[in-house]
Amino acid sequence: MAVLEIVRMGHPVLRAPAAPVPASAMRGAAFARLVDDMVETMRAEGGVGLAAPQVGIGWRLFVLEVSGPGPEAIPLRVVVNPELTPEPGEPVEDWEGCLSIPDLRGLVPRHHAVRVRALDRHGAPSEYRVEGFEARIVQHENDHLDGVLFLDRMRDLRSLAFYDEWHRYVLGSAGSRAERPE
Ligand SMILES: [Zn+2]
């Protein structure tokens, strides 16, 4: 496995809609290697999610994981060609960061819960509901597949802060999930 280079805001791949992963590609060793490398890259960079365009690949694929221990631990998910259906309800604002926009944090409204129809890494269809922090990660990563960055979703850019200042003036001593970017 290998840690891949993460592209940063300004690279055109982050603004281009990604293409569905072809079924033929999913059967190949190269796809399995890409998934493994994305997982390793996410872990190496201390992120909770990583989408294929962030490593320069224009495919509809992302991985997410919140390592434990802790109540917010989320097992590794590999999400291929997803379709999201938000559940009705008021959007919830919380802090987000992004591995492709290093060092910034901002308040982003997201749906509290979404239904996901997707393929797993072996091409098997699956359908599940995610809520809370996992729903936030899924929406953030799915946006990457459409060329959308979290800055585009912010209602008010005045909450934008560099990590050190955010940690000092916004977070105080309490921990936050936004310690780790997506
Ligand atoms: Zn991101």
pLDDT digits (tens, 9 = 90+) for 8-22: 999 999 999 999 999
Spot the catalytic one: 96, 141, 165, 182.
141
Half-sphere exposure of 43 (CA within 13 A, CB side): 14
Q: How far apart are CA 168 and CA 54, in angstroms?
A: 28
**DSSP alpha helix (H) spans, 80-160:** 132-145, 150-153
The pTM of the full predicted model, rounded to 2 decimals, is 0.95
- 115 Cα: distance to centroid of ligand 1 (angstroms): 20
pLDDT given at position 102: 95
pLDDT digits (tens, 9 = 90+) for 46-74: 999 999 999 999 999 999 999 988 888 99
Place of tokens 């940690």: 167
Mean pLDDT of the chain: 95
The fraction of the chain above a pLDDT of 90, given in percent, is 89
pLDDT given at position 58: 98
Judged by average pLDDT, the poorest of 15-19, 85-89, 113-117, 169-173 is: 169-173
Domains of the chain: 12-175 (3.90.45.10)
- 96 in catalytic set: no
- 178 Cα: distance to centroid of ligand 1 (angstroms): 12
